[in-house]
Structure 1
Amino acid sequence: MTTQLKPTLGTLHLWAIAVGLVISGEYFGWSYGWGVAGTLGFLVTTLLVATMYTCFIFSFTELTTAIPHAGGPFAYSRRAFGETGGLVAGMATLIEFVFAPPAIALAIGAYLNVQFPHLNPKVAALGAYVLFMALNILGVKLAALFELVVTVLAVLELLVFMGVVAPGFSISNFVLNGWSGGEHFGLPAVSGIFAAIPFAIWFFLAIEGAAMAAEEAKDPKRTIPKAYVSGILTLVVLAIGVMIMAGGAGDWSKLANINDPLPQAMKMVVGEHSSWMHMLVWIGLFGLVASFHGIILGYSRQFFALARAGYLPAGLATLSRFQTPHRAIILGGVIGIAAIFSDGVVNLQGMSLTAAMITMAVFGAIVMYIMSMLSLFKLRRTAPDLARSFLAPGYPVVPAIALCLAVVCLIAMVWFNLEIAGIFLVFMLVAYLYFGATKAQRNAAAPDTMLSGD
């Protein structure tokens, strides 16, 4: 049984994975932030989160190039803090990557429902899972080529969106009631800014997932830095541009708390029957598909790496004849589909299912970001001879900024989402109990010198 992934991906493929993993966040999800903070409050939140992500990616790249492992954050934290550290980072990453796809699948269903009102969005979401799990199983090179094509189309579509709504843009529309929403404890503006954190993170969530393709990258020490730096710059420009242009297109309050804000914003400018409107719906699906498809690749590699190291059942590390972790791909899909059809059964904090899935994914992401930055500082001290082809610029200030902002985000997330935070903690405790009961399984796993440092 082989458990070794093959390097087939170049810089452009890795850029497409990094951007494609995230780009659905520009198409939906973020507008829920307007509902709690208003446009101006959410703009402040987004700028803070963009700062965190920029500092994080420049720091995270040092880890990815030094330890090009399919486990990504799991591998860095295990190398820095031992098996328990690996568990915390690995399970947090898994929660992030397993709960993000259901939200995206529901958005795919919502976009298709615009064109086909009789199509049940949940049925469309189920179809998306089946289709893209199959594509991922057929091989990483094919999957990465598809990701490249849809990512480029998705980026172009966002530029087209901004160009089409520009004639109808008005700054007065954007700032009207811009500090509304989020009234908590008599501090509407400040509390709204913090309450909106998960939806600003959604703009950038999962860019770190490209690290999980590191074992499949050609010359990762050279290709990964180029992909990450160009990727985060691409996403920051698109996120700010899309948010401002959509908010200035008309009454932004009608775009808050819906899964298809861009088609609805365009409708305000060009009308419901414009060919531009229908083009956005169809091509806009490429953005959702790019992230959905890419995150399936990401969660499968995390399952694979944890199983290969003995943290999960060894069967999840089995590769298909296409050299892909097919069992891991299918398991993540089953969990995601179950989450989609839990709507109406599970009601978290009065949120829509999409908002709840986004928030759960963000909890995983923030914990993983904190563990990654702590690993960077620890490995600088304990593994000074580790080959580092890319050094975090401005060390230790830049990673410290990322770490501090991530901690602030986690505190705010817990404060405003106690119920979801409790469920996240239960997931982590269950994982720890399994971890404690399966030491023999980890001892029997094949040694990994990249994790042990031997």
Structure 2
Amino acid sequence: MPPTPLAAPGLKKTLTALHLWGLAVGLVISGEYFGWNYGWAAAGPVGFLVATLLVTVFYVTFVFSFTELTTAIPQAGGPFAYAHRALGPVGGLVAGYATLVEFLLAPPAIAFALGSYAHFLYPGLPVLGTALGCYVIFTLINLLGIKESATFSLVVTVLAVAELLLFMGLLAPHFKTENFLAYPVPVSAPGVLAALPFAIWFYLAIEGVALVAEEVAEPRRTIPRGYGYGLLTLVGLALGVMVLSGGATPDWRRLSHLDYPLPEALALVLGPGSRWTKFFASIGLFGLVASFHGTIIGYSRQVFALARAGYLPGFLARLNGRQTPHWALLAGAAVGAGALLTGTTDQVIILAVLGALVMYIVSLLSLFALRRREPELPRPFAVPAYPYVPLVALALAVVCLGALVYFNLKLSGIFLAGLLLALTAYRTLSPHILSEKGGVGK
């Protein structure tokens, strides 16, 4: 059995509630810029609205539940640390694998969208080359240290939120209910279920705040505030962007397969020559930059935590002079660059959502297990209305995962094959890891 996630080395505690709000919103906000519109292709605007409301209920109940875990066990491993403590090494491995899939595969989708936006603005820029360049630039920024990285994320996130508020303000006067209901797609259970992954994209990765919990000053007070204000911000932005885009544009179908739906929506409403269209397109990268940068922070901390616990090669847990896991950053960038060369945006989104849903389910099971096994564990934030709130979250997570697997059997098979490979490697290598570490750390 590998060491617990509590083993040295440790990370510097510098983050405030404002930093966490910036990370929570920044991790997710690219979901308001692109990706969600694929849900219109699956279910139409009305069916996708139903899917989005269901997913919003899920994330509200999940974040309440997850905050209890994050404040009780504020470690860099996040879901891996909770599952390891509650369910043992295999549970920790499943949670760690699922979190890695989510945080390693979300950035390539965002990077590809960054490349698409840049190409939209400057047709001479290649999409793939720009996406790969983003990995180089933002990996270098993250090597500066967590406080510097989080401050950068906060600044870019504030600009992204302001940009989305401007976008909604420009579209609101043009909203017409008949536009939202035009070209109707019958609302059906299969359509709503098929659209769920793209509704999840609105909120995907907010749980990444847990991956920097070890670097938070006063985590028991700071984390609930960061999560709460972050989720409230994202719910308003997600519903506002989606409803106004569908109601202001004359033909929502023209947005349903693009990686840059927001500038295209403004072009359809105000005209491609409008100064607002050009202005928004020119600054339309802030949200994508915020999420891309935040997910790099997230995957580097997850790789670091897994390596520190012995599940990944130990050199990935080394820190540079700025207390940054530099090898973890570089390894994650290499995986992301490889994904850019092999997948399409919608497929990468689905794989990332698969990882997230498995991680959500394991985390919720860990919450129930810890409540039963460690009733005396200090819980500075206790989920309200326990056990009903986490039960609602668990039920909705299972429904979302079942729908995702049903409509994406091939990608689900790839995800499962990776998990089985990880479990096999763990079973094969764990005695060797244990002998190298010299026992189980505490």
- TM-score, scaled to structure 1: 0.93
3-state SS in 2 of match to 1:258? coil
Match of 2:28 in 1: 22
**Which of the residues 397, 417, 423 maps onto 1:426?**
417
CA distance in 2, matches of 1:144, 1:441: 37
Give deviations 1:324-365, integer Å, cap 9, x for gaps: 11111111111111111125xxxxxxxxx0000000000000
CA distance in 1, matches of 2:265, 2:159: 20
Match of 1:236 in 2: 235
Match of 1:185 in 2: none
Match of 2:333 in 1: 333
Cα deviation for residue 167 of structure 1 reads: 2.0
Give deviations 1:53-97, integer Å, cap 9, x for gaps: 000001100000000000000000011000000000010000000
Q: Which moved more, 1:362-371 or 1:274-283?
A: 274-283
**Which of the residues 40, 59, 70 maps onto 1:64?**
70
* 4+ long deviations beyond 2 Å: 177-180, 440-449
Match of 1:294 in 2: 294
Letter aligned with residue 332 of structure 1: G
Cα deviation for residue 2 of structure 1 reads: 6.8
1:103 lines up with 2:109 in the alignment: yes
Give the conservation status (yes or no) of the 8 Å contact 2:8–2:308. no
Letter aligned with residue 413 of structure 2: G
Match of 2:203 in 1: 204
CA distance in 1, matches of 2:225, 2:108: 30
Letter aligned with residue 17 of structure 1: L
Match of 1:349 in 2: none
Match of 2:3 in 1: none
Match of 1:342 in 2: 342
Q: Which moved more, 1:169-178 or 1:246-255?
A: 169-178
Letter aligned with residue 388 of structure 2: V
- TM-score, scaled to structure 2: 0.96
Give deviations 1:216-262, integer Å, cap 9, x for gaps: 00000000000001111111111000000111122100000110010
Cα deviation for residue 441 of structure 1 reads: 4.9
Q: Which moved more, 1:383-392 or 1:164-173?
A: 164-173
**Which of the residues 125, 128, 148 maps onto 2:131?**
125
Give the conservation status (yes or no) of the 8 Å contact 1:41–1:178. no
Give deviations 1:249-287, integer Å, cap 9, x for gaps: 221000001100100101111111222112222322010
Work out the percentage of aligned pairs sharing the same amino acid: 56
CA distance in 2, matches of 1:282, 1:69: 39
Match of 1:255 in 2: 255
Cα deviation for residue 448 of structure 1 reads: 4.9
CA RMSD of aligned residues (A): 1.3
CA distance in 2, matches of 1:194, 1:38: 12
3-state SS in 2 of match to 1:191? helix
Change (3 A) 1:238 1:441: farther
- Within 5 A, what are the aligned runs for 1:389-408? 389-408=380-399
Letter aligned with residue 70 of structure 2: T
1:272 lines up with 2:272 in the alignment: yes
Match of 2:4 in 1: none
- Within 5 A, what are the aligned runs for 1:40-79? 40-79=46-85
Give deviations 1:397-445, integer Å, cap 9, x for gaps: 1000000000000110110000000000011011111111221354344
Cα deviation for residue 4 of structure 1 reads: 1.1
Give the conservation status (yes or no) of the 8 Å contact 1:2–1:318. no
